[in-house]
Amino acid sequence: MNISLLRPPLAPLGGVAKARHSPCDDSLPRLAQGHEEHPRKTRYSCATGISPITYPHLGFGLGLRKEHYQAVLDRRPPVDWFEAITENYLVPGGKPLYFLERVRNHYPLVLHGVSLSIGSADPLDRDYLRQVKDLAARIEPAWISDHLCFTGVGGVNAHDLLPLPYTGEAVRHVAQRIREVQDCLGRRILVENVSSYLNYRSSEMSEWAFLSAVAEEADCLILLDINNIYVSARNHGFDPLDYLDGVPPERVQQHHLAGHQDYGDYIVDTHDHPVIDPVWALYGEAVQRFGPVSCMIERDARIPPLDTLLEEVERMRAIAAGGQAAHA
Ligand SMILES: [Fe+2]
């Protein structure tokens, strides 16, 4: 299948004022009827009664980093879409937003946040959500994602993506907050599995059961990071295929691929190396299970030349093509 045929037409920037909703402290209708801001493309029908996934399949993307802004605009590389770190563009002005808007004129974008702290016991940060909503109105991302974690509590920011205890109480707590965020933003969000380095004694279920339960109860989507599964599987000693088998395919909207640092007894998710072969193999398994899912390469440190990352994008594209042929 030629994935590029599925790319949605680019909406012109600046034509979004009519789509803006009431402020984030207002209540909006729930999204069970489906979100209408993007072209419809149903990948799966769902037998569990939820509305079908309606976000587009974007193809094969890359994290947009400042080191590549000019090259992306000058060369228009063969990347289907870019993922931008939300927090880098919340200030309404300046160089980052200047480049983001110009990249958006040529590529679909998605917004990926690190500050939502959806699992925290602190109140949701409504000012942050309003900023995200304003940015979304400005650049019209295909979707918005953040992490299934907490980044602080009691007003203290840990500056890390901390895992939650996998309990029924935590499922209900997080799902309620995700629903509030979705009501505020007027769209379904994606939550991403984080890599982790500790377990809680209070956990009652596997990480994948927790992720799935949260997604079902919140009626949100899943950003399934394949490298994070690999990292956590090594750190905690579970089978990564059990993880893939335990996630509902109809909820999986996006994958991440990244590199990490292997210290032997444990792995640290550093995003500063190429994707390793076992993670590529696990991605192939994911393609077999989930079919065509938008996927991108994350590199956040030791940023190489753009061409180096483009090689990884092409490898991702080739693995997906092979897996989808087998999946068909
Ligand atoms: Fe990720």
Distance from residue 273's CA to the centre of ligand 1 (Å): 14
H-assigned helices in the chain: 69-75, 94-104, 126-139, 168-185, 207-218, 226-236, 240-245, 277-290, 306-327
Distance from residue 159's CA to the centre of ligand 1 (Å): 16
Backbone angles phi, psi at 327, to 5 degrees: -75, -30
Q: Is the pLDDT of residue 22 over 50?
A: no
Distance from residue 15's CA to the centre of ligand 1 (Å): 31
Distance from residue 255's CA to the centre of ligand 1 (Å): 8
Query: Could you tell me what percent of the chain has a pLDDT over 70?
Result: 82
**pLDDT score, position 326:** 57
| Interval 314-328: pLDDT, tens | 999 999 998 765 555
Distance from residue 4's CA to the centre of ligand 1 (Å): 23
Distance from residue 44's CA to the centre of ligand 1 (Å): 23
Q: Is the pLDDT of residue 293 over 50?
A: yes
Domain boundaries, the chain: 54-327
H-run or E-run covering 253:
strand 252-258
Distance from residue 205's CA to the centre of ligand 1 (Å): 22
Question: Which amino acid appears at position 60 of this protein?
Answer: F
What is the Cα–Cα distance from 246 to 72, expressed in whole angstroms? Answer: 37
Question: 233-258: string of b/e by CB count within 10 Å (b at 16+)?
Answer: bbbeeeebeebbeebbbbbbbbbbbb
Across the range 140-160, mean pLDDT stands at 92
The closest of 44, 85, 87, 41 to 65, measured between CA atoms, is 85
The closest of 215, 231, 197, 196 to 145, measured between CA atoms, is 215
Distance from residue 262's CA to the centre of ligand 1 (Å): 17
**Is residue 243 a contact partner of residue 208, using CB atoms and an 8 Å limit?**
yes
Q: Cα 179 to the chain's mean position, in Å?
A: 17
**pLDDT score, position 115:** 94
Distance from residue 223's CA to the centre of ligand 1 (Å): 8
**pLDDT score, position 328:** 55
CA 13 to each of CA 95, 138, 143: distance values in angstroms, whole numbers, following the listed order? 17, 7, 16
Q: What is the mean pLDDT of the chain?
A: 86
| Interval 70-121: pLDDT, tens | 999 999 999 999 999 999 999 988 999 999 999 999 999 999 999 999 999 9
**pLDDT score, position 119:** 94
Q: Is the pLDDT of residue 55 over 80?
A: yes
| Interval 223-252: pLDDT, tens | 999 999 999 999 999 999 999 999 999 999
**Residues in CB range of 111: below 8 A, 6 or more apart:** 83, 84, 86, 89, 132, 135, 136, 139, 141, 143, 144, 145
**pLDDT score, position 324:** 63
Give the residue with greater pLDDT, 114 vs 8.
Answer: 114
Could you identify the residue written with the tokens 């680019």? 10
Distance from residue 192's CA to the centre of ligand 1 (Å): 7
Distance from residue 254's CA to the centre of ligand 1 (Å): 10
Distance from residue 265's CA to the centre of ligand 1 (Å): 22
Across the range 203-215, mean pLDDT stands at 98
Distance from residue 225's CA to the centre of ligand 1 (Å): 5
What is the band of 53 on the pLDDT scale with cuts at 50, 70, 90? low
The closest of 263, 199, 191, 255 to 229, measured between CA atoms, is 255
Across the range 31-57, mean pLDDT stands at 44
**Residues in CB range of 270: below 8 A, 6 or more apart:** 259, 260, 261, 300, 301
**Is residue 162 a contact partner of residue 151, using CB atoms and an 8 Å limit?**
yes
Q: Is the pLDDT of residue 28 over 80?
A: no
Distance from residue 199's CA to the centre of ligand 1 (Å): 19
Across the range 255-270, mean pLDDT stands at 92
Distance from residue 203's CA to the centre of ligand 1 (Å): 23
Total residue length of the chain: 328
In this prediction the pTM is 0.85
Distance from residue 132's CA to the centre of ligand 1 (Å): 19
**pLDDT score, position 8:** 35
Distance from residue 22's CA to the centre of ligand 1 (Å): 30
Distance from residue 282's CA to the centre of ligand 1 (Å): 15
Distance from residue 193's CA to the centre of ligand 1 (Å): 8
| Interval 157-203: pLDDT, tens | 888 899 999 999 999 999 999 999 999 999 999 999 999 999 999 99
Superfamily of domain 54-327: Divalent-metal-dependent TIM barrel enzymes (3.20.20.150)
Query: Could you tell me what percent of the chain has a pLDDT over 90?
Result: 76
Distance from residue 146's CA to the centre of ligand 1 (Å): 9
Distance from residue 226's CA to the centre of ligand 1 (Å): 8
